[in-house]
């Protein structure tokens, strides 16, 4: 069922992928992940609530921070304190700039990749997409949307 609010949300989503909702006496910023399911994913306006966000955003301009925030929606924290913590750790360990690491993971095409297992998920709830040049490990969220756990490059 499509409603007027969904139409407005879609318009804003296409313009900026960011919506502002009035909650009580304050406005909260949400980045929509899936408008059809009407789910809202909140990114805190104040990065101090997650110290790893401060570290992740350090040295980037506003446009780059907005890009980082958008990519973070595609990830899950896994065993880390937060998604930002996971990204920082993986990017440092694999010697990538965090934004470049997120871009590479975002641009990894599952098309033509070998999926292990072919259907469903491993015992740890994850699946791996492998190609000659890299791999992506994903895990479904509570809605069944695959979120990135890690990305890597195959080295010879």
56-104: pLDDT as tens digits: 999 999 999 999 999 999 999 988 989 999 999 999 999 999 999 999 9
Helix (H) or strand (E) holding 22: strand 19-23
CA distance 118 to 45: 39
pLDDT value of residue 154: 75
Contacts of 46 (CB under 8 A, 6+ apart): none
For residue 26, pLDDT beyond 90: no
pLDDT value of residue 156: 57
Going from the C-alpha of 94 to that of each of 36, 87, 106, 150, 152, the distances in angstroms are 36, 10, 16, 11, 8
Do 66 and 136 have their domain in common? Answer: yes
50-61 pLDDT tens trace:
889 989 999 999
For residue 4, pLDDT beyond 60: no
Do 26 and 51 have their domain in common? Answer: no
Q: Which domain holds residue 6?
A: 1-42
Do 55 and 18 have their domain in common? Answer: no
115 CB-contact burial (10 Å; exposed 0-12 / middle 13-18 / buried 19+): middle
Higher pLDDT, 138 or 155: 138
CA distance 3 to 128: 38
Q: How large a percentage of the chain has pLDDT more than 70?
A: 68
For residue 5, pLDDT beyond 70: no
Do 35 and 93 have their domain in common? Answer: no
């Amino acid at each position: 069922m499509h409603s007027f609010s969904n139409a407005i949300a879609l318009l804003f989503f296409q313009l900026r992928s960011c919506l502002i909702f009035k909650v009580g006496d304050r406005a909260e910023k949400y980045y929509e992940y899936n408008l059809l399911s009407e789910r809202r994913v909140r990114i805190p306006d104040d990065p101090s609530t997650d110290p790893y966000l401060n570290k992740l955003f350090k040295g980037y301009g506003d446009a780059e921070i907005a890009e980082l925030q958008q990519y973070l929606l595609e990830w899950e924290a896994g065993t880390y304190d937060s998604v930002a913590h996971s990204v920082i750790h993986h990017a440092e360990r694999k010697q990538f700039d965090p934004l470049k690491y997120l871009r590479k993971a975002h641009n990894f095409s599952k098309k033509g990749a070998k999926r292990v297992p072919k259907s469903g998920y491993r015992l740890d709830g994850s699946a791996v997409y492998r190609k000659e040049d890299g791999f992506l490990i994903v895990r479904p969220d509570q809605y069944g949307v695959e979120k990135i756990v890690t990305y890597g490059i195959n080295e010879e």
